[in-house]
Structure 1
C-alpha cells in the first residue's frame, strides 16, 4: 500500500521567513505600489504583477487589464528610494 506525502505519518514541514531589507520584501512593496496606483485610477482593473530585483536592476512583469495609465518606472524608483536604496552600489 502506498501513501502520499500529505497522508504519510512522517513528513517534514519547512517554511521561510524573510526580514526587512530582503529582496523579496522589496519586490512585494513594488508590486503592491503598482497595484495601488492602478486601482486608485481604475477600481475594476485586473492586475497580476510580479517583480524581480538584483543589483542595479528591477524587472516588473505580468498582466494588467485597465483603461488607466500609471508611470510604472516612476513608481518603482519611488519605492526603491523610499526603502533607502539611494546609491547605485
Structure 2
C-alpha cells in the first residue's frame, strides 16, 4: 500500500459518512447552479436553428463544390496518364 493510500484512509476520506456528505454537497451545489441557468426564448431558439441550417447548407455546398472540382481534376489526370 502506498503512502497516499494510507493517508487517505487515515483521514477517513473514503468512509461511508464522508461519502454521504460529499454526495449531499454535490446535490446542493447542483441545485444552486441549476437556478442560475438562463433558458433562451422561443425566438432565440428559432433564430439559432435557422442560422445552423443555413450554415449547414453553405458548408455542404462548399464541400460538394470542392469534391466535384477534385473529381474533375482526378479524372482529367487519369485520362492523361
TM over 0.5: same fold?
no
| Bigger strand fraction | 1
Q: Which structure carries more helix by proportion?
A: 2
Using the size of structure 1 for normalisation, the TM-score is: 0.28
Larger radius of gyration: 2
TM-score normalised by length of structure 2: 0.30
